[in-house]
Chain A
Amino acid sequence: MTAPVVLDRRSVLAGGGALIVSFSLRGAIAQEQKPQSPALPGSLAKSPNLDSWIRIDANGQVTAFTGKAELGQGFRTAFQQIAAEQLDIPFDALKVITADTKLTANEGYTSGSHSMQDSGTAILHAAAQARALLVAEAARRFDLPPDGLRTENAAVIAPDGRRLGYGELVASDMLHVQAQPTSSLKDPAGFKVMGQPVPRVDIPAKVTGGAAYVQDMRLPGMVHARVVRPPSYGAQFVECDTAAIEKMPGVIQIVRDGNFLAVVAEKEFSAVKAMHALAAAAKWRESAKLPNQHDLANVLTALPSQDFAILQRSDPTVSGARSLEATYTRPYQSHGSIGPSCAVAQFIDGAMTVWTHTQGVYPDRQAIAEMLGMAPASVRLIHVEGSGCYGHNGADDAAADAALIARALPGRPVRVQWMREQEHGWEPYGPAMVTKLSASLTADGKIADWNFAVWSNTHSMRPGGAGALLAAQHMARSFAVPAPKPLPLPEGGGDRNAIPIYNFPNAHVMHHFIPAMPLRISAMRALGAYHNVFSTESFMDELAALAGADPVEFRLRHLDDQRGRAVVVKAAEEFGWTRGQQPPRNRGYGFAFARYKNLAAYCAIASEVEVDRETGRARLVRAVAAVDAGQVVNPDGITNQIEGAIVQSTSWTLYESVTFDETRITSIDWQTYPILRFNAVPDSIAVHIINRPGQPFLGSGETGQGPAAASLANAIAHATGKRLRDLPLSRKRIKDAIDA
């Protein structure tokens, strides 16, 4: 991912204008002096040309490009801030273009809290280097040294007051040069736009009914399609009498290809009615054998696994006396997007265009092209926002559905909208997981020995190949589901955050990777980190209790990472955490901490919960978080992400599990898959950001998921005196524990 980019001097020298040559030779010379040239920052490593990120038109319009997809995190605004700051352009004067296979760099997937690290960093450096090029060109024209020039309001200004606008300075190829490993970045102390809570650029349209989502697209001549999915995994189409359905008002066509079945109509509700009729008429042969959802711990640990020892640290001079062991489980959980997946596709003159809320326009294009037997160059994917996805939901599948149907109706834009039960029933879930932990304490109350084992599926079955797409699996010339692979460390998948951040003299971590996937699964916000942090941080509290130590002090006892210590201390202080604190009756306090992936943002959360002992109902009353996501671009954006993480993780942790019988998924709507509603919303959430000016962006989208869960679990244990280790920490489980 960070392969060094070799500067091609011949292409540099052939580049044209004096400016490009002199600029690029500087890099070339530097490279000769230092053969091991450092990798380019962020996504510049993969797409090194500055004009992949920044374009300046002769009329002065500046555009920043990102290959990442806005999913509701607000990074479009953050990227605009970065480019405006480094280029000295008014914020409002800048445009940002997001993921589109025709226009933007290939940045793979928008996932793993990587957008700020990858794309934000690329834009930061590309903008700074573009500014340097503009200043150099102005210096040449002014016949002045560049050091004396300044930039302001999209122009370069000489000490004598002469000024040249960026549009006047730019030459056609000026930015078509490779980036350099280092940039002359602005001093954070002088930031005017970065670091400010700039209002999100997308919110005005979203609160006034402007077109904001792929669901809102209305292309001329567009028709509406609905898919009829099989009733269960692997079900085979037997027969369907479609004669009456074809005659229903407004029905244009029924599209069937093997087990793929869909109907197209002029009007949307005609398509819905025809879909219901089709679903009732279609006969399927079902064969799925789903596991016992009430025994997932035994089901998972009994499946064949590939076993990896991912940490083996030994210090024979330290051994423990008192020991503890525990098993924690997580069920399958749904992304549960509020808007079911949707896509629009149009097939004209052998070229396919798909408007989609996929997280990866390039990999999804690859998969759709393979499914259709088309060259990727003939397929264009354009990202348009959808409802929040929180990982791999039905977006890619809906895009494939739309493409397959559009191919059957050349020329006509086809809009496919999944129904609620399709999103809930067919999305790839967050995988079920099991962790087994054991540890021992030294006489002075420190952890001597830590053992952690996790059983999990992979956490990404995202496209790359067509076999990841439902439509491709279901069509007659069907594509097999690709073999799952464990995601590599240091980021990891099922083992994400399985390695403790704490300093334990003896530590052993095993990753039992399970290839067999009883349910369709893939990436869900934070991947394995949600359960691994829940397990680690719950167990830390159990061990603190065994040691008779305060949970916060016990963590600090084992934590050397200074930035980690800073967020722990900050969250505790802001919460008003004190050793031996006595909560009001039926309330409890909990604490948890993690550094996401052990290499991204730090987050510590202190929680207060209230438990109704009669019903077992737990409610988060207040949460106080401290987060260090590196250099802050938009503090309100980070706060929004952490607030959201706490509320969403509270919902996962207290309520959520996918349900199924022996054959079919049975959690297919909001009644069968309840999530948090307003009656469970806390009284307050406070987020305290520790800014790190000049430090790398760390991304804040997923860092809160694990700590929020463990903080809640620890607070429930504090309130009830009972430790719950199986997610979700449901009303019934809490009540049963209280009564036991």
Chain B
Amino acid sequence: MMTLKVNGRDHQVDAEADTPLLYVLRNDLALNAAKFGCGLGQCGSCTVIVDGKAVLSCVTPLVLVEGKQVTTLEGLGTVATPAPIQRAFMEEQAAQCGYCIAGMMMRAQALLMRNPKPSDAQIRAELEPNLCRCGTHMRILRAVHRAARLMDTADAASDRSIR
């Protein structure tokens, strides 16, 4: 048994230490967003955020994330109360099959947390490890730009409410 911190909650997990984080998230915690794409760290569809950084959960053994904060797409928001990045992807209709999208969103989210106003070139460079086969790239880029604007607005709004 080990304790895994996911989306702000502690979970007791009964899994072997070498189990990739992806399998624990999907099976033990029944979280759908992180996807199995290659198991080789080549496609990014399993991307989650660990302590603020985008991580490929298919090649990250459980033992390496013990005590760290893991965030999955489920931890950002819901259909009823979507996070800015989720709202942006909905508003831009940035999916075809959508299988790669959760990974794209988590990598973009990690970028926006560290750099709230990235340039187009920075977004493209950041998303380089993540593959999309449907060719939804133009929409993904637009959605990340939109998310940055939404976050900016949300920050401004919360600043006002604090004042």
Contacts and interface: CB of A to CB of B under 8 A. Distances in A.
A208 B133 contact: no
Contacts of B32: 209-213, 216
Interface string B121-147: 000110110111111111101000000
Interface in A661-703: 669-671, 675-679, 681-682, 684-685
A480 B72 CA distance: 45
A643 B135 contact: yes
Nearest to A77: B93
13 contacts: A72-B98, A203-B89, A203-B98, A204-B90, A206-B102, A207-B102, A209-B102, A212-B98, A267-B23, A337-B99, A338-B45, A677-B131, A679-B124
Contact of A206 (B20, B72, B95): B95
Contacts, number: 180
A644 B133 CA distance: 8
A644 B136 contact: yes
A216 B128 CA distance: 26
A249 B18 CA distance: 13
A165 B72 CA distance: 44
B134 A648 contact: yes
A386 B78 CA distance: 22
Contact of A269 (B16, B102, B124, B130): B16
A218 interface: yes
A268 B35 CA distance: 14
Interface string B19-48: 110010011001111011111101101000
B96 A73 contact: yes
Interface of B is mostly: loop
Nearest to A679: B128
Contacts of B93: 197, 199-200, 203, 636, 640
B35 to A, nearest CB: 6
A212 B32 CA distance: 8
Interface in A632-663: 636, 640-641, 643-648, 650-651
Contact of A678 (B23, B31, B124): B124
Interface of A is mostly: loop
A670 B93 CA distance: 26
A579 B100 CA distance: 41
A713 B23 CA distance: 43
Nearest to A683: B120
A650 B132 CA distance: 13
B105 interface: yes
Contacts of A212: 32, 98
A81 interface: no
Contacts of B137: 647, 676, 678, 681
A385 B98 CA distance: 10
B128 A678 contact: yes
Contacts of A678: 124-125, 127-128, 130, 137, 141
Contacts of B57: none
A339 B35 contact: yes
B67 interface: no
